[in-house]
Structure 1
Amino acid sequence: MRTRTTILIALTLALVTACATPPPPPPPEPPAPTGPVWPEEAFRAEQPDAGPQPSVTIPSVETFQLDNGISVYLVENHALPTVTMRLRMNVGGMYDPARKEGLNVIHMELLDQGPKGVSKVEYETRKADLGARINFAGGTHTSSLTISTLKRQLEPSLDLALEALLKPGLRKEDLARVKQRHLASLAQQLASPQNIGYRLYPALMYGGKHPYSKLATEKSLQAISLRDCKAYTRKITPAGAELFVVGDITAEELKAAWNPRVKGWRARGRQVKQIIPEAKPREGNIFFVDVPGAVQSQVMVGHPGPSRQDKDYVANMLMAQILGGSFSSRINMNLREKNGFAYGARAGFNYMRTTGYFSARSSVKADTTSKALREIAKEIKMMREAPPSSEELTREVRGHVLTMPAWFATSGGTLNTFSNLVFFGLPLNYFEGYQDKVMAVDAATVHAAAQDKLRESDFTVLIVGDAETVLPDLEKIAAEGLFGPSKAVVHLDPNGNPVKK
C-alpha cells in the first residue's frame, strides 16, 4: 500500500514539474533591413562621355516615274530579302466636306476591310498566308497604302493590296463596324483631359475655318454614308501620288511589278495644288474646357511658329530640345523633378506641310495647374533672355548627332526619313553634311533662335480640367495678362464650341 502511495506521489510530482516547465523562448527578431549598398567606384562620380561621332552613310535615292505618272523614290537595300513600299496619294482629311469631318479616315479604313468579293476574314487570312503587312491610312494632307513583304511574295502581296485599293468591297456592314469603332474611340477621347487637349489645340492655333481646324464629331461620323465613301473612292487617283520603296528590289523589277497592275489607273483632270493658309489663332489667350472631377489638368501653351523649311531649322530644333524636347530639358526638370507637378512635360515645334507652331504641354496634378502655367511661362521667358549653358548645348547636340544612324538603320526608318523630306519639299541630299551643321551651332545661335522664334506674349493657352479646382486661379492669371492682352477665360466644350459661363 505504502509502495503504491509512493508511486502515485512520484507520478503527481513529475506531472506538476512537467506542467510547470516554462515555454521555449520566442525566436529572435529578424535584423532590421539595411539600405542598398552602392559600390564606391570612382567612375560613378562623373557622367560618362558621349561616344565618338558616328559615321553615317546616307543611302542614295533613285527617282523615276511609272507609266501612269506616279513619282517613285527607290532606295535599294539587298541586305534582307524584304521590300517595304508606301504609296502616298494626294487627298487628305483637310478636304473633308462640312458636316462630314472624318470621311477620309473612315474611307481609308473601309478600304482595309478587303476588296470586292473578299470578306474581311478572308482578306486577313490571305495577308497572313503571304506573311505581308498591308495597311491603308488617312491623314491630314494625304492618304497612304503601305505594303511590307518578303521579296518572293511581292507580286501576290501587290495584287491583293491593289485589288483592295482599286476594287474595294465598300460593304455596308463593314462601314457600320468601322464607324462604331471610331465612335467608341471618340467617346474615350472626350473623357480624357489629355486627349481633349491634343485633339482641340490645333483648331485653336489655326483658328476659324482653317483646314487644320476640322474636327470629327459624333454627329459628323454618324452622317457618313456608304454613298459618301463610294464617291470618295473616285478622288483616289495617281495625280500627284508618290511611291517610296526601300528593300531588295531594283528599278527595273519595280517597274515590271507595278506598271502592268496600274496601267488602267489614270489621273482625272489636273492635280490640285494644296494651298495652306497661315495660322490665325482663335481670338482669346486662355481657353478652358471643364471635365468635372478630373484629377489632372492638361496644360498647353503655344503660338504660331516657323515652318520645317525655315533656314534656321537646326538652331530652332536645338533650342526647343533644351527648352522642352528631351527628358533633361528645362521644362521637364522644372515640372517633374523640381516641383513634382507632373510625370513629364515637353515643348517643341509642330510642323505641318508649310506651316508650324510652338507648344509646351503637360498633364499636371489638378491643384498645381496655375503653378505649372507660371513655371512654363518663366521657362519660356528665361530661354529668350540668356544663352543656354555649354552643358545643355553639348548634351543636345551630341544626343541628336548620335541618334542619326538609327534613322537609316531599318527599311521603315529609311522610308520615313526620305518620305518626310519629299513631303516638306526638301532636297533628297538634305542630310549630307547634316551632322557637321548640327555640331557647328553655338550658344549665341541658339539664343538668337529663341529670341526670334519664341514670343514674349500673345500665347494660345488651353487648359482642360476640373473647373472647381482650376478656374479661380486661372481667372487670376488671365486678369494679370500673363499670356496676352485678353483678360477673360474663354469657356469651350470638348469640340471647341463656346460655352456660356
Structure 2
Amino acid sequence: MKRLASAGFVLLVGAACAAQPAPEPLEYPTTPPTTGPAPSFEMSQPVERALPNGLRVLYLPRGGLPLVQAFLVSRGGSMDDPSDNPGLAAFTAEMLDEGAGGRDALELAGAIEQLGATLTVGESWDEAQVGLQVLREQLPDALRLMSDVVIRPDFPEAELARVKEERLTELASARDEAAVIAGNAFSSLVYGSDHPYGRLSTQASIRGIDRSTLVDFHQRYYRPGTSTLVLAGAVDASLHSLVEEIFADWEQGAVPDLAIPGPPPMPETRIFLVDKPAAPQSEIRLGHPAVSRDTPDYYALQVLNTLLGGSFTSRLNQNLRETHGYTYGAGSGFAMRLGEGPFSAGAAVVTEKTDSALIEFFGELTRIRDEVVPTDELDRAKQYLALRLPQEMETTGQVAARVAELAVYDLPLDYYDDYVERTMAVTAADVQRVAREYVHPDRTVVVVVGDRSVVEPGLRALPVGAVEIREIDEFVR
C-alpha cells in the first residue's frame, strides 16, 4: 500500500507540474560591454638617495600592509658572460643564496624563514637580481641577510657540485624538449656565436665553472657603483641610515664597460629544419634582430605587437588557433634589451600543417606592414594595454620590480605618469610605420623543429626561402 500511495503521489505532482506554463527563456547578452576611456595612472615618485660607495637607493612609500619589498639589481646579467663561458652569469646568480656570510645554504634558508621573509635570486640578459619581501618590523635583520647574499656569497664547493649536476641534467633533458631546441636554434642562427645573444650554454662550459670562476665573476660585476636598491611599501627615506649601515662595507670597484655589439646583417629569409623524428608537433620560431629598450618607438611597437601576436585576440592567435586549428596558441614579441633584441613569432603546430602554418605566419607579417589597421581594432589594442597597467601594478612587489626595471634601462622615474596617454596617442599610421621598420618577412630566420620525413617536402615547396637541414647537437650539447 505504501508503494502504491507513493506512486500516486508522484503522478499527482507530475500532473501539477505539467499544468504549469513553461518558463520564459533567459536572454543573455550578445555583445560585449563597451569600455570607457582609459583611466590615467600615476605612481608616487620614489625618493632617491645614494651611498658613499655609489649604491643608488630608491624609496617608494606605498600604503596598505606593513610589508616591504626590496629589489637589488646590478651588472652580472648574461650580457656579461665571457665569450668562452656562456652560462656563467646565470650560474653565479643561482649560487648567491647557496651559502653566504658564513652560513651554509640550510642555515641561510632557516634564518630567512625564521623572519617570515622570502628571498629570491636570478638574472636576465641585462642584470642580476636579488629580491626580498618581509614585514616592516623584521626589515633590519632581513636586509642584513640580503646584503650577505649580494656582497658575501660563499660559493661552497658542495653546493657548487650539486648545482652543476642539476644544470648538466637540464641540458641533457633539453634534447627532448622541442621548445628549448627551437629557442636555442633561433638565438644561435639569428645572432651567431660572435654575439652574446647567440652564445649557448653547453655541458663543456658548465663543467668549466669552478669556485674561483664564480668568485672572479662576482667580484668583477657585483659592485655598488653600478647597482640600484629599490625599497617599496612600508618605507620612507628615514630608513637611509639603516641602509647605509648595512651596505657601507660593499667595496667600490671598477666594472668593465658594457660593450654591446650591433646585430649581424640579415640575409634573405631561410628555413632551418631541425630533425626530431616522430615529433607530434612542429615548433616554429621566426624573426630577426629588431630594437633596444631605449627606442623612441616603444609605445607604437607595444601596440603593434598587441595587434599582431601579443594578446589572445591578436591576429596570429585568431588565425592559427581559432580559424585554422593548427595550434593551441600563437604569438609574437619584441625582446627589448640594452642591445637590439629580437622580434620573434612562434607556435607549436600540428605536424601535418607545418607548411600551412608558415603560410599564415608570413601572411600576417605582410598584412600588418601593408594594410592600415582598422580604427576599431586599433582602439581595442590600445585599451588592452592601457587597462592592463593598473593590474600589473597591483602589488608592492610588482611596483618595485617596475621601478628596478627603470633603473636597469636608465629611464626617468616618472616614466609611468604618461604611459596611458602615450599609448592612447598611437595612431594607425604609427603602427604601419614601425611595422615596416621593424618587421621584415624578407629577412627572417625561420626555425622548424619537427619530423623531417613529414614536413620537409611541404617546406621546400613554400615560396618563403631556401631550406637547410640542421641537427639537434648544434643547439643542445
TM superposition score normalised by structure 1? 0.85
The code of the aligned residue for 2:227 comes to A
Identify which of 226, 231, 234 aligns with 1:245.
Answer: 231
Choose 1 or 2 for highest CA Rg. 1
The code of the aligned residue for 2:472 comes to D
SS at match of 2:363: helix
Identify which of 264, 273, 277 aligns with 2:257.
Answer: 273
- Does structure 2 retain, via aligned residues, the 8 Å contact 1:205–1:460? yes
1:450 shift after superposition: 2.0
1:371 shift after superposition: 0.8
The code of the aligned residue for 1:205 comes to V
- Does structure 1 retain, via aligned residues, the 8 Å contact 2:228–2:407? no
State the partner residue of 2:362: 377
State the partner residue of 1:32: none
Cα separation, 2, equivalents of 1:497 and 1:385? 38
- Equivalent residue runs for 1:168-183 within 5 Å: 168-183=153-168
State the partner residue of 1:363: 348
Segments of structure 1 that go 5 or more residues without pairing to the other structure are 1-36
Identify which of 424, 435, 444 aligns with 1:450.
Answer: 435
1:98 shift after superposition: 4.2
**Percent of aligned positions that are identical:** 30
1:169–1:273 CA distance, 2 compared to 1 (3 A): closer
- Equivalent residue runs for 1:134-173 within 5 Å: 134-173=119-158
- Does structure 2 retain, via aligned residues, the 8 Å contact 1:116–1:170? no
Identify which of 391, 402, 406 aligns with 1:417.
Answer: 402
Higher alpha-carbon deviation: 51-60 or 296-305:
51-60
- Equivalent residue runs for 1:40-439 within 5 Å: 40-41=26-27, 44-115=29-100, 117-235=102-220, 236-253=222-239, 255-269=240-254, 271-280=255-264, 285-439=270-424
1:342 shift after superposition: 0.3
Q: Which runs of 4+ in 1 moved over 6 A?
A: none
1:47-83 deviations in Å (ceiling 9; x for gaps): 2112442342322121121121111222111322111
- Does structure 2 retain, via aligned residues, the 8 Å contact 1:217–1:495? no
1:40 shift after superposition: 4.6
Cα separation, 2, equivalents of 1:156 and 1:388? 55
The code of the aligned residue for 1:419 comes to A
1:341 shift after superposition: 0.6
- Does structure 2 retain, via aligned residues, the 8 Å contact 1:293–1:466? yes
The code of the aligned residue for 1:384 comes to R
Higher alpha-carbon deviation: 417-426 or 453-462:
417-426
1:252-283 deviations in Å (ceiling 9; x for gaps): 21x222212222222223x4331211111676
1:490 shift after superposition: 4.5
- Does structure 1 retain, via aligned residues, the 8 Å contact 2:100–2:152? yes
1:157 shift after superposition: 0.8
SS at match of 2:257: coil
The code of the aligned residue for 2:237 comes to A
1:214 shift after superposition: 1.8
- Does structure 1 retain, via aligned residues, the 8 Å contact 2:181–2:476? no
Cα separation, 2, equivalents of 1:119 and 1:422? 31
1:309–1:268 CA distance, 2 compared to 1 (3 A): closer
- Does structure 1 retain, via aligned residues, the 8 Å contact 2:69–2:396? yes
Cα separation, 1, equivalents of 2:43 and 2:101? 42
Cα separation, 1, equivalents of 2:441 and 2:215? 49
1:39–1:323 CA distance, 2 compared to 1 (3 A): farther
1:232 shift after superposition: 2.5
- Does structure 2 retain, via aligned residues, the 8 Å contact 1:54–1:405? no
Cα separation, 2, equivalents of 1:306 and 1:226? 36
1:166–1:58 CA distance, 2 compared to 1 (3 A): closer
Number of matched residues?
453
1:268–1:230 CA distance, 2 compared to 1 (3 A): same
Cα separation, 2, equivalents of 1:336 and 1:221? 39
CA-atom RMSD in angstroms: 2.3
Cα separation, 1, equivalents of 2:198 and 2:259? 15
1:470 shift after superposition: 1.6
